[in-house]
Amino acid sequence: MQILTHWEALDALKSLDGPVLYLAWKCGLYKALNARAVVVVRQGVGLGELISSIKYGLSFAPELVGFKYTVVEGEDLEEARLLEALEFSQLGKIIYIDCRK
């Protein structure tokens, strides 16, 4: 799992390929994606809201394969710790963008 700043994420997002689940919040960097993506706009931060967004986003996952990447915008590093345990599930490789910076 990678934790990136806003500026680091701009470069990284351009190189992603394959299906992407993007959980957008206030950074709004999903526009930099060149890959096919499902974008879910988060209503806030926190573990409960993150889990709800993931569940909703997974309902659009490509059958049998899942997502190659999941990109999450947020500002709560507790969320990042939870996501670390989920990496390489149907969420694929996880990139957490720290929107505080």
Q: Which of 6, 4, 32 is nearest to 20 (CA)?
A: 32
Percent of the chain with pLDDT strictly greater than 90? 75
Distance CA 10, CA 97 (A): 10
Q: Count Cβ neighbours within 10 Å for each residue of 75-85 and write b for 16 or more, e otherwise.
A: ebeebbeebee
Is the pLDDT at 20 greater than 90? The verdict is yes
The range of the structural domain enclosing residue 64 comes to 2-98
| Confidence at residue 44, expressed as pLDDT on a 0 to 100 scale | 87
| pLDDT over 70, % of the chain | 98
pLDDT of residue 101: 63
pTM of the model: 0.91
Mean pLDDT (whole number) for 30-53: 92
Q: Kindly state the average pLDDT of the residues 53-68.
A: 87
Stated as kind and residue range, the H or E segment containing 58 is: helix 47-58
* Tally of structural domains, the chain: 1
* Whether pLDDT at 15 is above 90: yes
